[in-house]
Structure 1
């Protein structure tokens, strides 16, 4: 039976980046490290790309080779011990897709999230009724149990917006997300009220790109750009598509999606005008 692939965590990515930095600082290639430590070059690649957490003896061998002393050595060892922990996850999340649980873990530790949605209300702003209707529609073959697990996970994710130091959320959506009546008028009316209330929160910014804006940079699809409290933790992009979930963290990708989001902010209605539009559409649903 194949070993289940370890999904990345913020700490695992930080550990991988630190080990890459140390190796390059020692002016060693992966092949040189392999020759001097006996660590397989493929294994080293997986460690340095946050595919796996290094075993203790492997980590110590690398730190010895890179001549890392205390206190840095102790900090790296401690980081490694916690690198496999996705602290936010509930026990039942083991039944959710691996990429989704990784996303939940990243989101729980993020400082800020920039989210563009072309067809849906952003997950962090969805009501339970809307979430259930969306999940049923998107996953028509899912069992009732699977649907309820996903609904529960989506609602629990929203705790990041209510904690003492809440996540900063900047959500932009196409007007189509507001116009599509998901779950019926009652569900949609409740959802629109949630949006209006969320728009008044100081740590949330909500904008809508009106139909009148014409073609825009977000039309190819939705994406999430997450940033983290520590400077050492690079931003990460998450894309959810029918072809599968995708994480991007290359600097070029982060710059490109950051520029796209800035462009979308510019063509969208202002937060105040967005609130007025949501209020108007809410009255129409009644």
Structure 2
């Protein structure tokens, strides 16, 4: 394994697939390793994307686990592509949808920095707000927002809970999504979640003028493993996209920090949210 190995999101998705195959067969790492001829340490590192999963190793696991041929062949193709990306810096990952994968990274992350421009962050949205915002015509995206919300709430009682830092402009509070009743419930919920010790909600007031991330919503995800770099996630109604190039991720981090600095502090932000709710 290269000393400076950093797993891509595709390689991490492959690792989760390998772990899923093993868990479906109720095999321990030791049992599975003995069957395929790997050490349990190697298998663990493959599943956790601490080392790359070579196509031949994926093929061997698919065969030993008796995975249906089309299924293991698809994962082998992804492993081949991941290998090519690593060695030749090729383009977008094959058969890999970041929008569908995003919730997995929310489960794995330790820090979520969310900047939105016109919506309450997905992890804090109530179902009624999400349905109204998506106009109920995008059931797949609605389901993904719900999964992101559930992923965050499930992490609240973890020994290592997910820290969420959210920043958004005041316009998010004033846009009455779903009507006054739905919007008021959403704002009250936002006030409630902001009381959690692992949550920071800060609002950029209208009077602040332009701010560094204006017009460009994104989410930054930070992880506990040294091999897993920070990732930026961008999403439109068309598709989701990961940004993994360190220089570009750092640009996002700087813009987030700049916008957060211009925002009201958490106490003042809470007061502004309460004021917007009272007006509905």
TM-score interval (norm. to shorter): 0.5 to 0.7
* Maintained 8 Å contact 1:160/1:167: no
Q: Secondary structure at the match of 2:201?
A: strand
**SS at 1:21's partner residue?**
coil
Alpha carbons of structure 1 residues 187 and 52: separation in structure 2 relative to 1, 3 Å:
closer
Decide whether the 8 Å contact of 2:8 with 2:244 is kept in 1: no
- In the other structure, the counterpart of 2:41 is 75
Q: Secondary structure at the match of 1:202?
A: coil
Q: Is the 8 A contact 2:122 2:145 kept in 1?
A: no
- Whole-angstrom CA distance in 1 between matches of 2:9 and 2:118: 36
Per-residue deviation, residues 82-140 of structure 1 (Å, max 9, x unmatched):
559xxxxxxxxxxxx93222111111100010000000000111111111111226xx4
- The CA deviation at 1:209 is 0.5
The 1-side partners of 2:135 and 2:44 are apart by 42
- Render the CA deviation track for 1:37-78: whole Å, top value 9, x for unaligned: xxxxxxxxx999739859x9xxxxxxxxxxxxxxxx753332
Question: CA 1:109/1:53 → structure 2, altered by over 3 Å: closer, same or farther?
Answer: closer
Matches within 5 A, 1:199-278: 199-242=194-237, 244-278=239-273
DSSP 3-state at the match of 1:194: helix
- Structure 1 residues not aligned, in runs of 5+: 1-18, 24-45, 57-72, 85-96
Show the counterpart of 2:3. 21
Give RMSD over aligned pairs. 3.1
**Aligned 8 A contact 1:207 1:265 in 2:** yes
Distance 1:195 1:278 in 2: 8
Superposition pairs for residues 133-144 of structure 1, below 5 Å?
Answer: 133-136=132-135, 140=137, 142=138
1:48 and 1:82 map into 2 onto residues whose CA distance is 11
Rounded Cα–Cα distance in structure 2 between residues aligned with 1:230 and 1:48: 13
Give the total of aligned pairs: 212
Note if 1:164 corresponds to 2:158.
Answer: yes
The two structures have a TM-score, normalised by structure 1, of: 0.66
Q: Does the aligned pair in 1 maintain the 2:109–2:162 contact within 8 Å?
A: yes
Is 1:284 the counterpart of 2:279 in the alignment? yes
C-alpha separation between the residues in 2 aligned to 1:22 and 1:154? 31
User: d(CA) in 1 for partners of 2:118 and 2:274?
Assistant: 19
Contact 1:117 1:222 in 2 (8 A): yes
CA contact (8 A) 1:132 1:147 kept: no
